Structure formats: C-alpha cells, structure tokens
Amino acid sequence: MARLEYIRLPAQRIEVENDQVRWVATQGRVVERLPQIIWSNHSAWGEANLWALEQASFKHIKTVHSSMTHLLGYAKWLEAESIDWWHFPARISERCLPRFRGALIRARNDGEMAQSTVSVRMTAIIRFYRWLQATGIISTSWPMWTERQIGIRIANSFGFEHTLRVTTTNLAIPNTKVAGAIGLEDGVMPLTAEGMSQVIKVANAKASAELALMLRAGFGTGLRLGSILDLKLATIEQAAIDPVSGSYRIAVGPGARPPVATKFGMSGMVPVPTSLLEQLRDYACSTRRLKREALAKPENRNLLFLTRFGNPYSDIQSRAINVEMLRLRRAGETAGVEAFREFHFHRTRATFATMLMRAALRCLPVVDAVEFVREACLHKNVETTLKYVKFIESSKAMSESADAFTQAFMGLTGWSRDI
C-alpha cells in the first residue's frame, strides 16, 4: 500500500561540468519534512513529489502536508483499483477521476468519511491535476472535466457588495450545509458546562497527565491544539497581569517572544485563568516533565509538552495525540458520557468562545463584547466572532420555543409529568 515518507531537502542547484551533472549546495531555504509518496512497490510517485516540492516553495509546509495526505488517499485507491493516474479513455465512466469521485461519495454516504473531508480531498486532487495540465506533464486526448464559472457575492464591513468569479468543475463535491444550522469555527459545536466538566473528569481518570492538561488549556484559553502543543516554558513564566481585568494573559503568535504557532499567524495576548496558569507552572517543573526534557533534543527542551520519548507532540509524524484522543473517546463512550459523542479537541475552543461570549454579553454592549471575544480568540475576521452571537441568540430562542411547545402540548393533551 502507498505511504508517505518525509525527507530533509537542502537548498542546492544543478551544475554541468565536463559533461557531468552534479548538485551544488546553495544558501537557499532548507525544506524540513517534505512529504513524498511511495508506491507499494517502493518506487516514488515522481509527479506528485515534484508538485509537493513546488508547493513548498511558496506555501506553508503544513499546507503541503495536508495536500499530500489527500493525494495519498488517492494513491491508495488507485492501487486498490489497479488503475493508473493517467487513465483517461473515451468513456467518461471509466476514467480515474470520475471513478474516484464516485468512491468518495459512496464513502460519504456510508459514513466512512466526513462530508467536509470528501469535499476537500476532491478539491486537492483537482488542484494537482490542474498543475499537471499547466506544466504539460499530462496531456490527454479528452478533457479531464467540464469547467464553469460561478459568482459569489461578498459584502465588506461597510455593506458594499462585489461578486467574485470562481471556476469550478463537474468533478467537485460540494460541502453542503444543513439548512438552518449555524456553523461555528470548523463546523464544530460547543459543549455545555456540564459536558465540559464530564470531559475533564474522565480525562483526569483515564488520559495521561499531558492530555488532561491540554484539554483544560483548551477549555480555559480557547487556544487551538497546534498552539497548545507549541507553548514554551517562557510563555508560561512570562504571563502578565492585565491591569484592567486583573487576570493573567500569555503572549502567542509569531510576534510573541518566544513565538507560539497560531493559525493565520495571528499574534495577541490570550487570557488564562489563574488556576490553570498555576497548573501549567506546576507541570513545567514536575519530575514527570523534567524526565522527558532530559531525553529531548536541545532545540525542543523549551517546549512545555513533550512525549515520553522527549519528542514534540506537534511533530507531523507523531500520532501520540490522535491515539490518546481515540482512547479517551472510547473510555468516555464506555462510561456513557454523552459529551464524548462526536468529541474532537477543537470543541474545547468552541466551548470557550461560546461561554466567554455569553459572559461578555451580560456586562458589555454587543459591539464591545464582540471585540473582546475576537481579541481573546485571535479571530482573523470579525464575521467569525459574530457567529457566536448568532449561535447564542438562536440557542436561546430554540430553547424558549421548545419549552413553550412542550407546555402547550401538555395542556392540550392533558398529560402530566407524572405519567
């Protein structure tokens, strides 16, 4: 079966001297952990790997990892179906891309893959083939797909609208939304206060000390998992007191010293509850963590969280967090805890933002509350923050409507709660 391998690619160029080709090192950027697809026969998928190299020259390496992971899924399907990636005969139903699209839709309908994953995977594959077509690596006698343009209306903060023209294909798989649903960040839903307490309780009993503390950090700060895994010892030690609120804040983002990874490179000061900060500081100097630090490489010893082998959890090849989260979900489901159904780490962020917005709306005007939550959550766009306001208002309305309907139904039928 096809697999991904990661290589370190130094900056170099080709020189020809005396009819001999040789590689010469240059002062350019070294690409760390460049993903490469290897077929089951141990040969490299040269075209895909060349695409990864070109993408790495102008995109973040994590974006390249994501694209190549989707391409790996396509490679595994190609091997399972014994079909070549350049197979484009006259009959459309026999071509590799339409057949793969059908396989993705069946996996989605059978519940094997999430709707969003299916949509993104097909988009990544089409992007790869567009590059093949543009570079002349592939040139078929028949068109690989049918293209059409659609217009998307976008309104700016002043209310002015303009139309953005987007080219799509008949192979694209739309990520349709449920009618009436209010999607928060990444489409996840927050937990209730009781659900949050249940998750923390099970994590304290069943998960490692590291994962339990990461979950508390997620619920208490709203930081994404990638940011939590990149927290430094100095980040916790240098927590500053906010002169206005009196609470502690930690600096994150590329502008922080030391820097902490954030989505979109957003920098800011994130609030941290005093009790959580004390727990993080206690863990930082605990014997458990110091043993892990002793095994770590010098460049990783400043990280707050390390695996038992002294490696960073954020290592792209480390599956420690995924394995632990899977075990925790199973433990929670076995214990009958409802909060663990469809539970993912990012729900800690949605829970934090929802609770913070509820608290802010109780004591601040809407405009100030939105700005306060936007800064605390490091939202790039205010539209993302406004979704939480709409979600809270909608949840309250639905709750009141449900209570009113229940009371009316009980009155009409003559039923009582004692039945």
Residue 165 falls within a domain, yes or no?
A: no
Q: In sequence order, which residues have a C-beta less than 8 Å from that of residue 284 and are 6 or more positions away?
A: 233, 236, 237, 304
- Confidence (pLDDT) at 403: 64
Task: Give the integer Cα–Cα distance in Å for 207 and 308.
Answer: 14
Q: What is the mean pLDDT of residues 16-39?
A: 86
Let me know: does 143 contact 167? Beta carbons within 8 Å.
no
Q: What is the mean pLDDT of residues 44-53?
A: 96
3-state secondary structure of 306: strand
Structure pTM? 0.74
- Which run of H or of E encompasses 24? strand 20-25
Number of domains in the chain: 2
Q: What is the mean pLDDT of residues 342-356?
A: 93
- Confidence (pLDDT) at 410: 53
- Confidence (pLDDT) at 397: 67
**Segment 135-190, tens digit of pLDDT:** 999 987 778 888 877 666 665 555 556 666 667 788 999 887 554 455 677 667 89
Do residues 190 and 115 share a domain? Answer: no
Residue 369 falls within a domain, yes or no?
A: no
Position 214 pLDDT exceeds 70: yes
Residue 161 falls within a domain, yes or no?
A: no
- Confidence (pLDDT) at 151: 63
Q: What is the mean pLDDT of residues 209-223?
A: 96
- Confidence (pLDDT) at 415: 46
- Confidence (pLDDT) at 27: 78
Do residues 9 and 129 share a domain? Answer: yes
Position 392 pLDDT exceeds 80: yes
Percent of the chain with pLDDT over 70: 87
Residue 38 falls within a domain, yes or no?
A: yes
- Confidence (pLDDT) at 416: 44
Position 249 pLDDT exceeds 90: yes
**Segment 295-317, tens digit of pLDDT:** 999 999 999 999 999 999 876 55
Task: Give the integer Cα–Cα distance in Å for 268 and 149.
Answer: 39
User: CA 319 from chain center: how many Å?
Assistant: 15
Q: In sequence order, which residues have a C-beta less than 8 Å from that of residue 100 and are 6 or more positions away?
A: 74, 77, 78, 122, 125
- Confidence (pLDDT) at 278: 96
Check which CATH number belongs to the domain holding 278 and give it.
1.10.443.10
Do residues 112 and 244 share a domain? Answer: no
Do residues 265 and 336 share a domain? Answer: yes
Residue 172 falls within a domain, yes or no?
A: no
**Segment 100-147, tens digit of pLDDT:** 999 999 999 998 888 889 999 999 999 999 999 999 999 877 788 888
Let me know: does 296 contact 310? Beta carbons within 8 Å.
yes
Residue 399 falls within a domain, yes or no?
A: no
The residue whose two tokens read 């080219």 is: 167
Percent of the chain with pLDDT over 90: 64
- Confidence (pLDDT) at 12: 81
CA nearest to 77, candidates 156, 178, 1, 191: 1
**pLDDT averaged over every residue in the chain:** 87
Do residues 115 and 207 share a domain? Answer: no
- Confidence (pLDDT) at 417: 44
Residue 238 falls within a domain, yes or no?
A: yes
Residue 403 falls within a domain, yes or no?
A: no
**Residue numbers of the domain that contains 115:** 3-143
Helical segments of 267-365, H only: 274-284, 287-295, 320-334, 346-363
